[in-house]
Structure 1
Amino acid sequence: MRILIADDEQDMQRILAAYFRKEGYEVFTAGDGEEALAVFYREKIDLAILDWMMPKQSGMDVCREIKSRSDKKVMMLTAKSEEEDELKALSMGADEYVRKPFHPKILVLRAKKLLGDEKGLRYQSLRIDLAGSKIYKDGADLQVTKTEFELMCCFVRHKGHILSRHQLLDLVWGLDYFGDERTVDTHVRRLREKVGEDLIRTHRGIGYSVEADDE
């Protein structure tokens, strides 16, 4: 799934983007309202996370336009604490309203709930239980490891896109991992043995992917 994070605070952008990418989401960022709308019209986003106070166009203006043009979810971020501001945001179409400061993990959970992504994912014969960190195939628990589970979630959320070993290391192992990229190959091989050899495609010299034709 694709998420737009629009905030004129660069640190906030960077932190939130890192948390969402860790969960396997594709993230686009913007530093002002005009840039946020440009991303909205250019990319097929599923959720827009908008800071209320931004240069050029406010988060509320962006929210209003997104909601008038689509059914995409919008989450507003604000330092404002007055109840009437929350009422205004919700009346403009915002689906969620989060006051700063907040913990990024809580924001990610709220975003997942908005997207209906907090319970589980499905891909072909697989059911991925996000809450229990388990993968089932035709009802049978595949007994995957934590890393195998996160790899499969990453592939499914990016289905149709080739992910390089470097991208997978960042998304699954973390930005601070400095080990050998070949560890990705080892874990993919073990994951294939459990989910099925043909489910994960190898693109030689590029990376891995799962197909997007399961819809």
Structure 2
Amino acid sequence: MTKETILVVDDEKEIRDLITIYLKNEGYEVLQASDGEEGLLLLKQHKVHLIVLDIMMPHVDGIQMCRKVREIAEMPIIMLSAKTQDMDKIVGLTMGADDYVTKPFNPLELIARIKSQLRRYLKMSSAEIQDAHEIEIGDMQINIATHEITVAGQKVKLTPREFSILELLARNQGIVMSAQQIYERVWQEEAFQSDNTVMVHIRKIRERIESNPRNPQYIKTVWGVGYKIEKDH
């Protein structure tokens, strides 16, 4: 039986309960939140495969939550809204939503869209897992399974934390990641004045993998924004 976990975020309890009944009938695990703040807290505590997210909510609304989720995760997000204007749909999709359903909705249609998004996401995640045992960037090979790194044929030793930072950047080539994002993903806790901590770790990684740390070939600094490894290095 399917055991993916769906997070339903809506300030109307009747709608949350209705969606939950249909999802549980399909074998899904369901988490409920009444606003974006509660939803973000549940995301930190549970592995979630898809989010059904209402736009209009008190405190942290759906647009704000969608934006925050996209800073840390890639699971599908289906937005719910009573509004029918195209602009609301555009805003939701621009913030990173994968689909958009207008209230009132047919629960069976919502379930069909959830299944479609999950199929795509799980297939893509499975392919990423299979392809990500070893990452090659220029003369550097990163073996995810064994935590071994070679640069120009020479083995390089990193601490577990340093390896996690390098792996994160290598898996997200071409994407600039802020010090805060790196800290929260690697340390698994909320970032508080994390810039120096991340900067020190980046410097140590560069000292080990770069032939010239002052002019890095692999980990680039995007001033005022963060760090990245170029795509198709």
TM-score, structure 2 length as denominator?
0.51
- Identity over the aligned pairs, expressed in percent? 19
User: Which of 109, 113, 132 in structure 2 is aligned with 1:57?
Assistant: 109
Verify: 1:128 aligned to 2:159, yes or no.
Answer: no
* Change in CA separation of 1:123 and 1:56 when aligned onto 2, cut-off 3 Å: farther
- Residues 43-75 of structure 1: CA distance to partner in whole angstroms, max 9, x if unpaired? 7x9xxxxxxxx95635555545x69xxxx8443
Count residues in correspondence: 156
Amino acid at match of 1:127: Q
The whole-number CA distance in structure 1 between the counterparts of 2:107 and 2:131 is 31
Residue 169 (1) aligns with residue 183 (2): yes
- Structure 1 residue ranges, 4+ long, deviating more than 3 angstroms after superposition: 10-14, 31-34, 54-64, 72-75, 111-115, 176-180
Structure 2: which 5+ runs fail to align? Answer: 9-30, 34-38, 50-70, 82-89, 99-105, 211-215
Helix, strand or coil at the partner of 2:180: helix
Could you tell me which of 102, 116, 122 is aligned with 2:130? 116
C-alpha contact 1:33 1:58 (8 A) present in aligned 2: no
Indicate conservation of the 8 Å contact 2:179/2:198, yes or no. yes
Q: Which residue does 2:222 correspond to in 1? A: 203
Alignment of 1:33-112 (within 5 A): 55=107, 57-64=109-116, 73-75=120-122, 111=125
Counterparts of residues 179-198 of structure 1 (less than 5 Å): 180-196=194-210, 197-198=216-217
TM-score with structure 1 setting the length = 0.55
Going from structure 1 to structure 2, the CA distance change for 1:132 and 1:113 (only over 3 Å counts) comes to farther
Change (3 A) 1:199 1:13: same
**Bigger shift: residues 198-207 or 55-64:** 55-64
Cα offsets for 1:94-117 (capped at 9, x unmatched) = x59xxxxxxxxxxxxxx4566414
Aligned-residue CA RMSD in angstroms? 4.1
Separation in 2 of the partners of 1:25 and 1:132? 25
Contact kept? 1:63, 1:74, Cα under 8 Å = no
Q: How far, CA to CA, are the matches of 2:76 and 2:120 in structure 1?
A: 16
Give a deviation string over 1:141-181, Cα, whole Å, max 9, x none.
21111111111111112211111111111111222454642
The answer for unaligned runs of 5 or more in structure 1 is: 19-23, 46-53, 76-94, 97-110
Q: 1:116 to 1:59 in 2, by over 3 A?
A: farther
Of structures 1 and 2, the larger Rg is shown by 2
> For the residues of structure 1 that align with 2:128 and 2:205, how far apart are their CA atoms?
29
Alpha carbons of 1:25 and 1:148: their partners in 2 closer, same or farther (altered >3 Å)? same
Give, in whole Å, the separation in 2 of the partners of 1:25 and 1:122.
24
